[in-house]
Amino acid sequence: MSSHSDTSAAPFRVDGEYDREYAGDGVSRYGAYVRARLDGSFAECWDGTWEEPSSRRVAFAAAAWRTAVGPVMSPGYVGYHSRVLSARVERSGWDGSLIAVVNLAAPWPAALARSREWQGGRRWRDWPTELRGDGYDFVDPTEQDVAEYPFLQASLALTFRVPVDRLPAAPEGPDDGAEERARLAVEGLVAELNHAVGPVLAVLEGGRSR
């Protein structure tokens, strides 16, 4: 489920080494994806759609993030912790601020974990996991799994405003350092999302064994 997942402490990380090693141009996979979208998803950042610099900054950051993760890039320029099921960054239609929505695989709520009455005599299972390299991923049960057991897969949705004052300004055009600014925007977003999501993830990982 997660994009190029790992089990490091941070929810998100920029995988610069992988990005360089597997770059078709020998420089950066992500840079190539940004260049391919300068006339598409990035164009609104300088085509007059948004007049205010703050609105263009938000639109550029959102476009940089969408380009850095699946389904655009697989594996993504941004790697996820195995508990991160999805992560969106988008412009709010209400006030134009930058909003993040992060979904995490979670253990059962304590009330459910303590009781068996709700199970009705059935042996409900938690999230299945699969070994991936040195870690694991939370995955959906297979049809064979479901034929044998019912599953209750709990998740948390974190929705929050992302500060943009530390993110780079949007380029004035496609030739105004768009690739480098996109990388800086992604790095800044990773730092902000880790700041918000990291403490939640630490608690979930601390209580992983039940």
Type of residue at 167: L
Q: What is the mean pLDDT of residues 128-154?
A: 91
CA distance 181 to 63: 11
Is the pLDDT at 160 greater than 50? The verdict is yes
Query: For 53-73, how does the pLDDT look when each residue is reduced to its tens digit (9 = 90+)?
Result: 999 999 999 999 999 999 999
Q: What is the pTM for the complete model shown?
A: 0.91
Is the pLDDT at 207 greater than 80? The verdict is no
Bridge partners, 62 (sequence order): none
Residue 154: its pLDDT value, please? Answer: 97
Place of tokens 């320029």: 77
Of 47-61, 76-90, 137-151, 196-210, give the lowest mean pLDDT range. 196-210
Query: For 170-189, how does the pLDDT look when each residue is reduced to its tens digit (9 = 90+)?
Result: 999 999 999 999 999 999 99
DSSP per position, 79-103: EEBTTEEEEEEEE-TTTS-EEEEEE
